[in-house]
Every structure is written in C-alpha cells, then in structure tokens.
Chain A
Amino acid sequence: MATTSLERELKRGSAEILILALLEERQRHGYEIGRLIADRSRGAINFHVASLYPTLYRLEDRRLIEGRWVEKAGQRRRRYYRLTREGRAVLARQRGIWDSFFIALDRVARIRHA
C-alpha cells in the first residue's frame, strides 16, 4: 500500500516528538516514558515499546536529550532523560510540523477507512 512508508515515517517522527514533549515537563526514565506513551495513547499511535530505546538513543546521539543515572533512597538506580537546549529548540520547531502531522494523520485515517 502506498501509504505504508508514509505512515512509518509519520510514526517515527511522532515518537520522537512525543518523547521530546514528554521530557519537556520534567525528566523521566525509560520505563516511565514507555508507560506514558502506551497509557496515554493506548495504541492510537502504533508506537511499540520495542522501539523506545533505539529512539531514545538516537535522540541522545543527536544531543536532543541527555540521560544520566540517578540513585534515590529505596529505589532502583534509574537512567533519567532530560531535554537539552537543542532538544527544546527542536521541539518548538517541530510543533509546527506536529500540527501538520495531525492533519496528515487524519487524512491517512480517512484513506484507510475509505
């Protein structure tokens, strides 16, 4: 189907932006990010937790987020990710594209249901 590759691109883009947006609020660890995406979107975006770490690492390599180990009393050691300055800039820029993405998503949905 012609829409498949488009959808894949959209999904990847949406996952990245989604993560940046989630980290905008405060720093979070991987499991929490995965839970948030899964809980809040309940599959609305077909974002698999499997691609969470590759995405996180890619974002970190691009210096949009940075992870660091945090130890808190009575808890597991966790790697927390937070948004870098560049990450914030990219998020702001992407928001515009993000809006378009929702529009595009609507269209994709319609094509699929037509």
Chain B
Amino acid sequence: MPDIDWRAAVRAAFGGRTPDDDVVEELAQHAATAYEAARAEGVEPDDALADVARQIDRWAADPVVASRRPRRPPAVAPPPASAPPFASTMQDAKYALRLMRHQPAHTVVVAATMALGIAATTLLGSVAYGVLMKPLPWADAPRLVRLYETRQGSTKRFRPMMTNGTYRAWREGARTLDALAAWDVRQVALTDRPGTGRITVSDVTPSLFPMLAAGPALGHGFAPGDEEPGRPPIAILSYGLWQQQFGGRNDAIGARIRLDTTTYTVVGVMPASFAFPDRETRAWLPFYIEPPTTPGRGGMSISMFQALGRVRPGATPAQAAAEGTALGRAATPSVPMAKVVATAVFGSDGPVDVTVVPLLEALTSDVRPALLILLAAVLLLLTVATANVASLQLARATARRRELALRSALGAGRGRLVRQTLVESLVLGLVAGAAGLVLAALMHRLLPLLLPTNFPRLDDIAFDWRVLGFALLVSIAAGLGCGLLPALHIARTDIAPALGEDALAPVGGGLRARTARARAAILAAQMAMACVLLIGAVLLVRSFVDLMGAELGYDPSNVLTARVILTDGEYSPPQRLAVLDNILQRLSATPGVTHVAYSNSLPFVGGEALSSFPLKRRDGSTIQVQAGVQGVSSDYFAAIGQRVVEGRGFVPDDASRDVPVAIVNREFSRKYLGGQALGWTLPGASKHGDSGPERPIVGVVDDTVRRSVTDTPQPEIYGTTRRSGGEGAGQVADSDINLVVRTSRNPRELVPVLRNVVQSAAPAAPLESVMTMDDRVAGSLANPRLYAVVLATFAGFALVIAAVGLFGVLSYTVTLRRREIGVRSALGATGRDIVLLVARQSLAIVAAGIVAGLLASAWATRLLGTLLYGVTSHDALSFLAVAGMLFAAAVIATIVPARRAARVEPAKVLRG
C-alpha cells in the first residue's frame, strides 16, 4: 500500500486558496480513514483512491471550507453522554395531531369511518342501557314484580293480566310479597272542560303509590279504603294536567273535575317526574277490586287489570308465583258461572296459573332480544370500522417505514416508536370519538322520531355522563384496537433493512410480506363480519316484507277509520243509533266513499269483546265455545274488505227483522262446527241469566288478524244492530264507536269531510284516532320495521366500509407493486394479466371472507329466531344473495385498482 500524503493532496486540491491548517488536517484525516475503510472492504487501491480524490475535490470546491478561519478549543477526551429522554407522550400526541392536519384526506376518511361506528355504538349503547339496564325510578325497583294470571290451556287471546279473585286472595294471604297493587288504564272525557278531548287516566289501588314510594307534590295521596264503593270520588292529577287545567295554582286541591259522568274532588298533584304506568297518564283514580262473588247475590263478576307486587327480601319470583298459583286456585269460585267466565276470558277453565316476572324484564321483554341483537350488530360494525382503520394505518405504517427508520436512526428506541404509533391511533380514536359523540347526540335527538311511540322506557333513554363515559371507552378501545397491529408491525420491523430497501417498490410484494398477510386477514375478517350483518339484515328485511304482505283477512288499502265517542252521559243507546245512522247516511252520500260502516271494535284498535256459551253441535254433543263478539253495521264487511266465503253478509233488512242473525268466521266454523257453520244456529245471547232469541248463522267470513299480523286466527261471531224486536233492539251499548270508510280515492283526502259530518251529527262528540287502516297495520309493524331498518343500515355501512377498505388496500398494494408490475409488463405480461394479478389477490381475500362469514352466519342467525317471520334462519336464498352482494362489492372495489395497475408504464417505473 503506497503511503499517501493526504495533507498534501488536500492542499493541492485547494490550489492557491490555502485553507486553515485545522481544516486541512481534518479533511486529510477523513480522507485517510475513508481510503482505509474502502480498502478494508476490498475496494481496489486505484478505485478507492479515485473515490477519495473526488471527495477531496468536492470539499475544495466549497467556499465555506476554503474560507474557513481557525478556532482552536482545547483538546479533551470525549464523554460518552447518554441521550436524554427523547420526548414525552404529549409530544407524541402533538405530533399525531400535526400529522392528521397534514393529511386531511386520510384523516377525514379514517376518522369519519370510526366516528360513524362510534356514533352508532354510543347511540345504541345509550338506548340499550336506558331501556334494558337503567334501574327503574321506583324505590326497591329490583324487588318489584309483575303478577300475571292465566289458566292452563289458555288460548292467550289477551295479554296476560290479573283477575280480581286471585288478586284479592293473594292480597289477604301473601307471604312472599310485602305489597300488592293494581291498576287499569282507560280514557275518559274531561266533560266540564269542552274542547280538551279525552285524557288517559289510571285507576290505581291506594297501595300503589306507597309501594313505589311516590308521594304527591301537592295535597295528599290515596288512603286505604278510599277506593271502597260509596266513598266520595277523588282524583290525583299529574303535574301536566294540573298546569294545564289549574295553571299550577294551589287551589286545585279541593277543586272539582268531571270525568265522563262522575265528578271528582282533586286531593293531590303528583310531581312532574312521576309517570306511572307511563307519561300518557294524566290522572289517577282509586281502583276498587271487587270480589268475584258476593254472598246473597247470584252470578259472579270478573275484572281484569294489571298487577304489581313487591317480593319480600329473600323471596324469589318463583316462590311468589307458586304462592299466587296456590292462592288463586283456592280462590276460584265454585259457581257454574266461573267456568263460563274463565272460558270466555282465557279460552279454558283449567286451573289458575300465576307467573311472576321482575318489572324491568316485563317492561322490556318485547324489545330485549332485538336490542341485544342490534347491540351485537353495532359492535360488529364498529369492529369492521376499526379494522378498516387498522388496515389503513398498517398500510401507512409500511409507507412510513423510512420515516420511522429515520426517527430510529435519530435515537428513538423501538418502544418509543411503538408508543408513538399507539398514541397516534389513540388521538385518532379520540378525535373520531368526539365527532362520533356529536353525531350520536344529533341522532339522539331524532330518536323520538325513529322509535315507535310504544317503545318501552323511551323517557329513560338519556344522553348523560354514562353515555359520555361509554363513548370515551369505545373511542379508546377503537383507537388502541386500530393502533395495535401497526404498532406490533413496527415492533417487529428491523429498522436498518427498512432504510435500505426502496420501500416504495418491493418486488413480489403480494401476500408474502407479513404485513400484507395481516392486511389480508383483516380484510377477510371485515368481509366476514359484513357478511354476518348483511345476512341478518336480509333475513329481517325479508321477514318485514313477509309481515307486510301477510294475509290479514281484509283489505286495509283505501280505508279510513276513526273513533267517535258518544258518552253515556250525553247519548242514550237509541240516541247513539240515530246519530250513527245520520253519520253513515251523510258519509255514504259523499263522492269518493264506496262503503261506510261502524263497529264496536276493529283490528289493531282493541275493544275486543269475548263471550263463552255452550254450543250444541250437529252430532248432538255440546261444546263450551270461546269467541270474540263484534257488533257491526250492515255494510261492515264491504267497508273493511273482509271476504264473505259462505252464505251472505249482513243486509240492511237484518236490522229490522224480528230474528237476529249471526255471521261467524272460518275459524269458528272449523273449530266448533266441523267447518259446517252455515245454517246452524247459535244460542241466544244471554244477559242477566235470560236467554235471547237463537241466532241462525247466515254467513261465514274470512279469518282476520286482530292485534298482530302474526296472530293465529281466533273464533269470531259478528252480530248486527237491530231496530225492532227482542232485547237490545235499537241500541248501541258501547260509547266508543269505530267508523270504517272505504273510499275510491286517497282516504286521507276524506278526513275533513269525516270531521265535518261527525261534527254536525254529534257536535260534542270527540273524534279520535283518525287513521287509515294501512297506517294501523304499518303501526303494528313499527318494531319489526325498526329492527330491519337499523340492521340493514348497519349492514350497509359495514359493506361500504369493507369495500372501501378493500379498495384502499388494493390501491395501495398496486402502488407498492408498481415496480413488480412494471417488470412483469416489460417481460411481456398483457394488461389482462396484470388485472388478473390484482384481481386474484382481491378475490382470494374476499372468498375467504365470504366463506368465513357464511359459516359464522349459520351460527349467528339462530339468535334472530323470534324476530323472523316467513323465513327460516338458514334461508339458503338469503345466504346466496348476500354472498353475491359481497362478491359484487368486491368486484367493484377491485376494478379501479386493477385497471390502474394495468396502465402502469414499465419504462417510467423502471427508470424511476
């Protein structure tokens, strides 16, 4: 090795402009070291020399070096100082925010996806908490239980209630309950305050308020005995009614208020927060539970109402149920009438069965399964959204390898980089969480519009600190969730190779890299989750469509219905008939009206009357029947669109005949008369033990659903009002009459006419519940529709998010693989080959996702069980359709990146 005088070489390079000796010395040292290093690496002497010479030339060319003036600090030994702690987490957070500001598009997409997921989760969480979990506002709420009575073999025509016999027996002999209370809700007119319409009141036993530990804000509550017959009528007002009718004045106490035909003295006002059984109730009246039989008086009376109990500490609902059952059975009156009454009400005179259900569970049992399913669905959606962010972050983490490697070169330890990535994701999660919270708050205000009015505990769904805390937790979980994979990725990344490789163009990127595999797994999981949500949604939507198309037994389209109230005080039964005839005449003369009728009850309206009587059959045997009894005017079947399948419907003449006629439905005919009802005769309707004239059956009509479209048909008997002869002739006994108007045009257009006609025929009579029959049917389907819409929305979002995620990752991969694609093109691959290359990767992911999703769905859809109608939880068509939908979405998400890949110009890429 020649001995090179580096100082001379440096001086020579500077020519005339001799730099400072210090500089010459330093550069010479550098040159010597560089040369030795090159030689040590095996570089040929000449090449090494040439390299270093070029180096020296460049130094010499720089004026800064040439004009360097000396400064000579004293020579000291180098202290190996350790680096100070690099930065705090706060700095990481600031950095993250700055990063987000600098990449607005990426940030917006990522944050919006997460915000949506967090908003939906927060909203549903607040609903689920408020409805299912929030403690009821009553004292000892966990000990409050609903008491239901039924009979073995019941046909369950009514929602379970409690009867007076069992209630009274239990009240006297309760050992498992320390309190019992009963209530019944009804509508009354504020008779002395015209124009106020009707209000909802609750008859409550005096024991109710003490059980709930609720006292009036003004005046006093009911005392035991206040409900006994013969006591002066008293009432407690709701805060709202007090404000409305008495302007919040104290002199309301002792004031009189007339409800229907009775005048009540106001004794108390409940606080504004008090609502029982719900906000609809405006006043409470003492409720007397009469005994089923009275000594010295024949017959029996049965009343049905809602009942509440409070189990003693230590007693269980099951023990209470056993006690109630035993007491109820012992109390069943032995009079013959008891069997008839039980059959009329329960469809069976079997032994009493009492069930006891915790109040919260009873209130929410209708919606609990659906809410839990939707909650699970929204968590799935959030997971999809988070996974999407995770895969985007992961992709970016790869793109940022060089940055991270540089930071690492600057002394940032791996742990710090991991921490920084997690902090970044956390900041993202919190930003998304804040946005999600705002979104959730907005959606929360729309809840009353979205949720059916009969949804339980609507008032308890609050947007409070619990919701805030929940949203915060969800945001943190989502943030950490989406940061975890990128962080792990960084933790495993070897920094030096990352700096060495051209991270923007790895050859053979495909699925070989570990991160690429992780991304593919995330995508497949997203697809699988979207698949589960979609299948659930498709099943619910199909159920809802089937429910809408279910056979009702009548034609609800173009039918306007309304209830007119002809109260006992103002209208005698014959007067009612006259008023109704007048209304019917005037309405039928209205253009656009094809049929008009009235009835004492309607499907989806209630007011069902039940009767039970012994029926002699064709074979000579006798059967005790239970049937609904509906009194209708002659054109009723035509007006409601109920088909007469045998015999005839009612005709106006039926009203003036001496002999009443009856029409039964198919179920009555099938169940009791072997399908041959026509021409047979029903025994006369009995009243106070006297039989009326027998009623020949002149027609059989279709079965109808009455409370829910999923009801099974029940036996029904239809009768018509009569003007002459026999008992009850010329009378309409009920005060609430339902009008049914069939129209040839949009029934809503006839609402003003209807109001006018009723107004002029019965000026004081309230007209309520003016609705088309279609709306009534739709209203009964509000919950299934809500569930279907919500799940479909979630599923839609999940699908879009998964597709966007797939699109994003494919686009990104194409960018990464530009060089590989360029090489392939240069080697003769056609555009089609390149498209296939990308599509293959995409479809492998999607296929794996769909298969996993279908398998998961096969398990998960069983949970939908009770919510499905007309479709099984393993409906093959739905599964196939969803697989197709996902496939289509995947194809769409693949097309653009694939085509872009095909347009990669090899020359351009390879030169770059």
A residues with a Cβ closer than 8 A to B are 18, 21-22, 24-31, 34-36, 40-42, 44-45, 48-51, 53-54, 57-58, 60, 66-72, 76-80, 82, 95, 99-100, 102-107, 109, 112-113
Contact (Cβ within 8 A) B74 A25? no
Find chain A residues with CB under 8 A from B81 CB: 25-27
Find chain A residues with CB under 8 A from B27 CB: 53
| Chain B residue with Cβ nearest A27 | B78
B690 contacts chain A at the CB level, 8 A cutoff? no
Contact (Cβ within 8 A) A30 B26? yes
Q: How far is the CA of A46 from the CA of B62 in the complex (A)?
A: 18
**A34-B78 contact given A57-B68, A102-B403, CB 8 Å threshold:** no
**A70-B78 contact given A31-B29, A109-B504, CB 8 Å threshold:** yes
Contact (Cβ within 8 A) B22 A50? no
Contact (Cβ within 8 A) B64 A54? yes
**A31-B62 contact given A72-B77, A103-B102, A106-B403, CB 8 Å threshold:** no
Contact (Cβ within 8 A) B87 A103? no
Q: How far is the CA of A104 from the CA of B403 in the complex (A)?
A: 11
Count of interface residues, chain B, beta-carbon cutoff 8 Å: 55
Residue from the list A22, A35, A68, A113 in contact with B73, Cβ < 8 A? A68
Contact (Cβ within 8 A) B409 A40? yes
Contact (Cβ within 8 A) A50 B409? no
Name B's interface SS.
Answer: helix
- Please provide the chain B residues from 397 to 420 with a CB less than 8 Å away from any CB of chain A in the complex: 399-400, 402-403, 405-407, 409-411
Q: How far is the CA of A25 from the CA of B78 in the complex (A)?
A: 11
Contact (Cβ within 8 A) B30 A66? no
**A76-B406 contact given A26-B81, A53-B62, A66-B73, CB 8 Å threshold:** no
Find chain A residues with CB under 8 A from B103 CB: 103, 106
Find chain A residues with CB under 8 A from B59 CB: 50, 53
**A103-B65 contact given A25-B81, A34-B30, A109-B504, CB 8 Å threshold:** no
**What would 15 more interface pairs be, CB under 8 Å, given A54-B65, A77-B29?**
A22-B410, A27-B78, A30-B29, A40-B499, A44-B405, A67-B73, A68-B73, A77-B25, A79-B22, A79-B29, A100-B102, A102-B407, A103-B103, A107-B102, A109-B504
- Please provide the chain B residues from 803 to 830 with a CB less than 8 Å away from any CB of chain A in the complex: 815
Residue from the list B79, B95, B496 in contact with A27, Cβ < 8 A? B79
Residue from the list A30, A41, A53, A79 in contact with B499, Cβ < 8 A? A41
Residue from the list A25, A27, A78 in contact with B411, Cβ < 8 A? A25
Find chain A residues with CB under 8 A from B25 CB: 77, 79
Interface centre among A57, A72, A95, A113 (most CB of B within 10 A): A57
Q: How far is the CA of A94 from the CA of B815 in the complex (A)?
A: 32
Contact (Cβ within 8 A) B500 A69? no
CB distance from B2 to the nearest CB of A (A): 18
| Chain B residue with Cβ nearest A66 | B73
| Chain A residue with Cβ nearest B57 | A50
| Closest A-B pairs by Cβ, 8 of them | A50-B58, A54-B64, A40-B409, A68-B73, A103-B102, A21-B410, A54-B62, A27-B78
| Chain B residue with Cβ nearest A76 | B29
B911 contacts chain A at the CB level, 8 A cutoff? no
Q: How far is the CA of A30 from the CA of B98 in the complex (A)?
A: 34
**A31-B102 contact given A21-B410, A50-B58, CB 8 Å threshold:** no
**A24-B98 contact given A53-B59, A66-B73, CB 8 Å threshold:** no
